[in-house]
Amino acid sequence: MAVITDILRAKRDSESLSKDDLYKFTSGIADGTVTDYQASAFLMAAYINGLDSKETLALTMAMRDSGTVVGWDKSLSPLADKHSTGGVGDKISLILAPLAASIGIRVPMISGRGLGHTGGTLDKLESIPGFNVNLTLEQFKEQTADIGVCMIGQTDQLAPADRVLYSLRDATSTVTSIPLICASILSKKLAENPDILVFDVKCGTGAFMHTLEDAAELAGTLVKISKMSGKKASALITSMNTPIGLTAGNALEVQESLNILRNKGPADSTDLTVALVAEMAAHAGIDNGEMLCRKNLANGKAMDVFAKTVETQGGDIAAFEALPQALVIMDVRAARTGYWRGPDALAVGNAVRKLGGGRYRVEDRVDSLVGWEQEVSCGSPVENGQLLGRVHAADRVAAAEAINAISNSFRWDMPSDPLILEEIR
């Protein structure tokens, strides 16, 4: 087996690395025998010269195996999870997990926090008073077995090598390497060890991937490597030029999720959630997945699973719905008559972040009450002076700045994007 310097030289010179080489490198990352400057050299060489499918698979599996891989009893199958590449107003996980569980698919979901202009599932969940995302892996397994769903944060036991490489990718300007993105995402998801993985790859101004070509490359790589690892997988490429749903901001998005689970939410968030669960159902051999989802939203079964999940993890839905609103709520009205495509997703994400609803540093505290709430769906005809939405803020100065940023991003008299741009299986 090569020493670390041999591995670095080989990748520098565009040679392929063996599975043993990548396992040696990754185990060294996890135990500290590979230095940060050696890891940075590898990342830059991989960024410039690329990793082929076999190398990407080997790196992914090595990163997965740098920590614990969750073991599940076969009787619990099918187990499935979803990963989104991040967007604005993307509260889909909160609805998807209980909806999938309601039709017989267990969902062990390990999620992250928001950083940058995109929100994080954990931040949304923690806007529910008492909700505990810091469970042990044993508690995670027990709850998934008992009620079909558990939603927690990343633990130190899962894919520890990824935490090191993830932080170095930003410092070395290697974030946009698709093989490295794929290995980072999948090492954590494969450590969860579900049978099925479904990906929601966002595309547009508010997404990590701005073009359909780049989004398709990432989606295709995620699906291919997932299948090579022995999982059933597919991906939907979805639009993120405007926010999804009617809200952006943690508590506002949780309330929208509750509305959807009560069968009263906006069509786009509902339809995308149903489409993703239907993908899971197809992989699991469950017929009529979409019909079952619509039925369980209408009859309350999905809401019942979510309520049980919240209760089991210490949360209180009634206390959440009794929370005060933000101190300042200011209206945003149309300045003209026309066909309103909506606000730009990136502008909304950045505005909510500046209001305190997102982070600039990992240690920043998040204000769960601030955000953007639309009164009108994107892609609607509106009249001059009509109420389009509201900014929720901690003070009037911050609210006025957010209104200015969001209003200046409005797009008019343009066709709306399809919700799903492409499907990859």
- H helices present in 381-423, as ranges: 396-407
* Closest C-alpha among 300, 276, 238 to residue 93: 276
Which of 24, 106, 188, 202 is catalytic? The answer is 188
Which of 65, 81, 200, 344 is catalytic? The answer is 81
188 noted as active-site residue? yes
* Closest C-alpha among 247, 405, 404 to residue 326: 247
Q: What is the identity of the amino acid at 205?
A: T
Provide the token pair at 409: 């991003």
262 noted as active-site residue? no
Which of 26, 60, 84, 242 is catalytic? The answer is 84
82 noted as active-site residue? yes
Which of 11, 24, 64, 83 is catalytic? The answer is 83
| Residues forming beta bridges with residue 387, ordered by sequence position | 333
11 noted as active-site residue? no
- Contacts of residue 190, defined as CB under 8 A and 6 or more positions apart, other chains included, come to 60, 61, 64, 69, 229, 231
Sort residue 401 into left (φ over 0), alpha (ψ -120 to 50) or beta.
alpha
169 noted as active-site residue? yes
84 noted as active-site residue? yes
- H helices present in 299-344, as ranges: 301-312, 317-321
Q: CA 301, CA 303: separation in Å to the nearest integer?
A: 5
Which of 11, 64, 82, 232 is catalytic? The answer is 82
234 noted as active-site residue? no
Which of 64, 113, 169, 231 is catalytic? The answer is 169
Which of 66, 118, 121, 239 is catalytic? The answer is 121
Question: Is the Cβ–Cβ distance between 265 and 245 less than 8 Å?
Answer: yes
Which of 184, 239, 257, 407 is catalytic? The answer is 184
Which H or E run includes 411? strand 411-412
Which of 117, 189, 231, 353 is catalytic? The answer is 189
- Residues serving a catalytic function are 81-84, 121, 169, 184, 188-189
